[in-house]
Amino acid sequence: MSAAGIFATWAAALALVAMALAVTRPNVVHALIWVVAGLLSLAAGFFALGAGFAGAVQILIYAGAIIAVFVFVVMTIDSGPEAIARERARLAAGWKGPLVLMLLVLAPALLGLLAGPGGQGDGAPLPVPARTLGMLLFGPWALAVEAASAMLIAALLGARHLARREGGR
């Protein structure tokens, strides 16, 4: 495995740990911070894989914009100590089952992946310049991109409707 590969794996592993912490925090804000940490680690991994555009988008949009929206929402609700205690109690009550379930899903995936024909090729990630990506997105994939924008519009329409004031027009 090349050095870039090792670094990317390391970064992704960090991200996994961060995400694991995120889903187990009773405090929403802490969880969000761990998510951001995980996303940033992933971005680092993307850079190491030579996917600079993806890394940049990850930092800007994901870790930046989306989480910011989260934080805004979190700030509208109070998460006092009793809310955190309640959350902790709920988590403590039922984490074993989900864990087993998670392992159940993971096990065949891991077994399958590790049994696969590993170690072929030169092992180094191949960098993809942003330009070729642009050629793809605005060339053959143009329709898909348009459709993705339709997806955003749909989400927007829905969110706008939901955000309408009670008894609004």
Partner 1 sequence: MSGFLTAALVLAAGLFAVGLFGLVARRGVLFQIIALEIMLTGPALAFVAAGAHHGDPAGQGMFVFVLVLAASEVALGLALYLRLARHADAGDSDTIRELRR
Partner 2 sequence: MLTPFLALLLVPAPAMGAFLLLGLGPAELNRRAVQTVALVGAVLPAVVMLPLGAYCLMGTCDGIQPIFDLTVGDAVVALALKLDPLSAIVGVTVTLIGACVIGYSIDYMAKAEVPDLRRYFALMNLFLASMLCMVLAGDSIVLFLGWELMGLCSFFLIAYHVTSSRAIAAGRKAFVITRVADAFLLAALLLLFLEAGNVRLDALIPAGIAADELRQGLIAALILAGALGKSAQLPFHTWLPSAMAGPTPVSALLHSATMVAAGAFLLARFAPLMQAVPLVMALTAVLGAATALFGAASAVFQKDVKRLLAYSSISQIGFMLLALGLGEPEVAIAHFVVHAIFKSLLFLSAGDITQIARGTTDISAMRGALWSRPLAFVAFAAGAASLAGIPLVTAGWFSKEAILAAAWLAGPFGVVLWLVAMTAAVLTATYAFRPVFTGLTRIGRPRPSLGGIFTNLPIALLAVATFAVAPLVEPIMEFLGGAAPHPPHAVELVGAAAPFLGIALAAALTFVPGLSLRVARARRMRSGIRIDGIYQVIIVQPFVKMVRWLTGQRGGIADPVGSIPVLVAQRLTAAAIRPLAHDPLDRGWMGLGAGMVRAWGAGRRIQSGRVRDYALALALGLALLLLIAWGTTWR
Partner 3 sequence: MSALLPHIALGLGALAAMLLAPKAPPVAARTAAALGMGLAALFAALRLGLPEGMAVPVLADDGLARFGTLIASLSGLATLVYLRPAPPAREGPALLALATLGAALIAGATHAATLFIGLELVTLSLIALFVLPLTRTALEAGYKLLIMGGAGAAALLMGLAFAYAATGSLELSGWMPGPGLRGDPVLALAAGFLLAGVAFKFALVPFHMWAPDGFQGAPAAAAAFAGAASKAAVAIALLRLAAVGLPEPIWSAGLALAAAASMLLGNFLALRQESLPRMLGYSSVAHSGYLAALVATGTAAPEAVPFYLLAYMPALIAALCIAARIGADAQLADLRGLVWRAPLSGAVLTLALISLAGLPAVAGFIAKIYLFLAILAAGNWLLLAAALIGSGLGLYYYLRFVVVLYRRIPPGQDAPHYPVRAPVETADAPLPLAEALVLGGAGMLLLAAGLVPGPFAAALAGLLP
Cα–Cα distance for residue pair 57/124, rounded to 1 Å: 23
Shortest Cβ 124–partner 1 spacing (Å): 7
* Torsion from C-alpha of 132, 44, 145, 126, nearest 10 degrees: 30
Shortest Cβ 54–partner 3 spacing (Å): 13
Shortest Cβ 46–partner 1 spacing (Å): 5
23 binds, among partner 2, partner 3, partner 1, none (CB under 5 to 8 A by kind): partner 1
The dihedral sign for the CA sequence 159, 160, 164, 169: negative
Secondary element (H or E) of residue 166: none
42 binds, among partner 3, partner 1, partner 2, none (CB under 5 to 8 A by kind): partner 1
**Per-residue x/- marks for partner 2, 91-110, CB under 8 A?**
------xx--xx-xx--xx-
Question: If binding is defined by CB under 8 A, does position 111 make contact with partner 2?
Answer: yes
Q: Which is nearer to partner 3, 85 or 147 (CB)?
A: 147
Residue from 72, 80, 93, 112 binding partner 2 (CB under 8 A): 112
Indicate the burial class of 49 (C-beta count within 10 angstroms; 0-12, 13-18, 19 or more): buried
Cα–Cα distance for residue pair 98/77, rounded to 1 Å: 27
What is the contact surface with partner 2 in residues (CB under 8 A)?
97-98, 101-102, 104-105, 108-109, 111-112, 115
